Chains A and B, each alone.
Chain A
Amino acid sequence: MAQYEIKINGKAHQVDVAPDTPILWVLRDHVKLLGTKFGCGIGQCGACTIHVDGVATRSCSLPISSVGESSIITIEGLSENNDHPVQKAWVEHDVPQCGYCQAGQIMNAAAFLDQNPHPSDSEIDKAMNGNICRCGTYVRVKKAIKTAAEQG
């Protein structure tokens, strides 16, 4: 066990966990931020996507010992009032079915649009390929990203 201070959604949090603890479980079990989801644990599904210094990152495969001073943003911290362009587009297009993958989809899409505000179709497809949606909402995910790109 070791003491860590990590910055999540602009706030410092102290946790006492083993150095190999993935940020996913630090968020869910210790900080009680439950929006970041567990899907596979091996970096294959994207359900656990967060931003680390603005970069979309799989929190299931990121041990706390490697985070240091980095700034972590989770779905809860993406916007104050659910008004990030991506969140708004998600609601407008009624993207979710079960909804479980959607926090990861949104976080991945938001980081992607930050880096590429006016993406082509194939750039979107490539960027989103790591996020599995078992319910098959892919078509709406794409539409929502295009709307967010126009409005963001």
Chain B
Amino acid sequence: MTFIKTKYNRRSFLKASTAAGGGMLLGFNWLVSCSPTAEQLLQMPEEWFDVNAFLKIGNNGVVTIMSPNPEIGQNVKTSMPMIVAEELDVEWKNVIVEQANYDIKKYERQLAGGSDSIRKGWQSLRMAGATARRMLLEAAAKEWSVPVSELTTEAGVIKHSSGKSAGYGEMASAAVQITVPEEVQLKDPKDFKIIGTPTKNVDGQKISKGEPLFGLDYQSEGMLTAMIVHPPAFGMRLKSVNDSAARAMSGIKDIITIDCLPDGTEKLWSDVNAFPELVAVVGDSTWEVMKAKKALEIEWEVVSEGESTTDYKDALSKLLEGSADEPARKDGNPEEAFKNAAKVIEQTYSAPFLAHNTMEPMNFFADVTKEKAELAGPIQTPEYLSKTVASVLGLPEDKVSIAMTRMGGGFGRRLYGNFGVEAALISQKINAPVKLIYSREDDMTQGTYRPAYEVKYRAALDEENNLIGFQIRGAGVNGSPVFANRFPAGAIDNYMVENFNLESNISTGAWRAPSSNFIAYAEQSFLDEIAEAIGKDPLDFRLELFEKAISNPVGEKNDYDAKRYAGVLKLIKEKAQWGTKKAGVSRGVSAYFCHNSYVAQVVDVVMKDGEPVIQKVWCAVDCGIVINPEGALNQIEGGIIDGIGHAMYSGLTFNKGKSDQNNFNKYRLIRHQEAQMEIESFFVDNGMDPTGLGEPSLPPVAAAVSNAFYAATGKRVTSQPFVENM
């Protein structure tokens, strides 16, 4: 039995937010009004009782569960409420899910990033459900004058051994009067009914009906439309604007300039923005504003030199020729190992910049008055946006509110809320509610891109083909992609990591599985090269390394659990029947750990018209307890296709600071025909606390593909995108 301290006085989310006993009518705001389905409306209760910040219970037993975190397609709007419902012990069909607004007083970590919503929310979500259940039980015990210990719950009904029973709805008004318990009992995972049951996306019906769920769909009375114009290249800024022609165009209300990071602004990590000074066009409708943008005559000036793809490629290669002042990690004596080596293997891997290209372009709604700022839109980091907006507008932070819409993708781009700040400044300046919309071109050419990387691996082998030394030099634009203490650190005696940074005026940031999205490819490709050189099966070679990391780890700061790592490899070995030959099929393996989850993959490739074609991806995952197997599989599939797509086809190149691609006619994304591989996934069932899935399936797949390509063609692809380097 697990008891958990609620520490309720420090956890304000457990307190009822309305006066105890007072029922609360469901407030209909825009976001909620399109929320309940027809069936749900039919079952709407007359009265709601707010038990805590996560849930309210209707007098008819229907439960509304708030989904605290931003939804970017990682499906937390379904999986997080499932955890609350599980501990509350209600039937999922009686649950209505509502997206919470940003509310720092009620919720702990309203952020979509690091695949951490489930892992970090796990305790508080369970606690919220269990606390409410306990309060319902205590209310019933009081009313029936029986001890709580004689009561049980089942599917939203409280039962007494005498046969007496009451639905949660009947007890809800009494439950909110109960003092929040100091300690509650959590369910034994073996009793989970909702957790572990494949459950459909709570917005699935609304999405297939085309309901207005996204930021771009947000509507408000009297709202105007705004678009921005940013400099055409990195390293440039606004000099002057002649807007007379544009101003005269139909539907145009105003043309202004804004500065999102005025001198003296305290920059947060999320305030990455290469183009803080912008021209904004405001008008009645999107098309009119788009046309007026084209009529602007703008002069730009150069503040720092614009870089080209060849420049940063050369610069990265050059960095890797030198040695770092201080290695990021050093075990044993790598210099000696390489000196004594009978054979040294070396390989360099590289990858280009990538744009996030969320399907829904950046946008945000803002209504700013002297007293307050009301914002709504797609943001992965409402807390940081709120802070920056408050400071730029000169308002106290509690006067800034943010409603979180469903997001048409995040992938890290919406961690950096410059578009929200822009919307707020525009609204403040024109004194009207406004929705800012980026065109695809605005979006793709103003990025916080995945940086370009280059990394060089070296391995030293002795006469007997033992791996005696390992060296990594990693370089990247605005930071190296190499994690010093991740595998294979800990598995090799003489080990060295050196990191190099190439500063650039091209803005970069987190892109789904930051750094891992590239380094897994390089590392897991290179391990195959070593395995081949020493004549070992690549999967068994990895298992040997993990054996070493388990039985006799090198160093102390190894950032992974070698047993779990080996576990996913063993699982995929068994499931994919690694080692059995299939006619015409070539295979590659890869494994990687990031964001607290472990993934191993096998890719099957066949040759068609002389080209290697991916036929199947086998995937083993250890993310602890799987909350929603349906959503989990969807995430894994999406990560795999995303990983394959970007490794195979995508890249952003620059010419003097200007990207060569600005829309999907030039920037290649994986399309339907290229994504018709079979994907089969398996989970390690270990009952451990859950970890996230938004990112971990992406990083290893590129190497599994390149290793399979190598097996099929004998040619190793060492640069992304593969199609340009095969």
Contacts and interface: CB of A to CB of B under 8 A. Distances in A.
Interface of A: 1, 17-18, 20-22, 25, 28-30, 32-42, 44-45, 47, 74-76, 78, 81-82, 87, 90-91, 94-103, 106, 121, 125-126, 128-142
Contacts of B358: 98, 100, 134
A132 B523 CA distance: 30
Question: Of residues A25, A36, A135, which shows the largest number of chain B Cβ atoms within 10 Å of its Cβ?
Answer: A135
A36 to B, nearest CB: 7
A62 to B, nearest CB: 12
Contacts of A97: 73-75, 634-635, 638
Contacts of A74: 210
A97 B410 CA distance: 11
Contact of A100 (B291, B360, B670): B360
A35 B204 CA distance: 14
B409 A98 contact: yes
A69 B139 CA distance: 64
Contacts of B664: 39-40, 42, 44-45, 132
A128 B672 contact: yes
Interface string B227-246: 00000000000000000000
Contacts of A87: 208-209
Given A40-B664, A98-B358, A132-B669, 15 more contacts: A39-B664, A40-B440, A41-B439, A90-B207, A96-B208, A98-B360, A101-B408, A106-B208, A129-B672, A130-B671, A134-B359, A134-B411, A135-B359, A136-B640, A138-B641
B286 A28 contact: yes
29 contacts: A18-B291, A25-B285, A37-B360, A39-B359, A39-B360, A39-B664, A40-B663, A41-B663, A42-B663, A75-B210, A76-B210, A87-B209, A90-B204, A90-B208, A94-B204, A97-B75, A98-B72, A98-B409, A99-B214, A100-B409, A103-B210, A125-B672, A126-B673, A129-B673, A132-B669, A134-B642, A135-B73, A135-B359, A139-B679
Question: Of residues B203, B209, B288, B641, which shows the largest number of chain A Cβ atoms within 10 Å of its Cβ?
Answer: B209
A139 B675 contact: yes
B18 interface: no
Interface of B: 38, 72-75, 200-201, 203-205, 207-214, 216-217, 219, 225, 250, 285-288, 291, 357-361, 406-411, 437, 439-440, 630-631, 634-635, 637-642, 645, 663-665, 669-673, 675-679
B201 A38 contact: no
B214 A18 contact: no
Given A17-B287, A96-B201, A1 B359 contact: no
A142 B675 CA distance: 10
Contacts of A45: 359, 664
A102 B73 CA distance: 12
B675 A1 contact: no
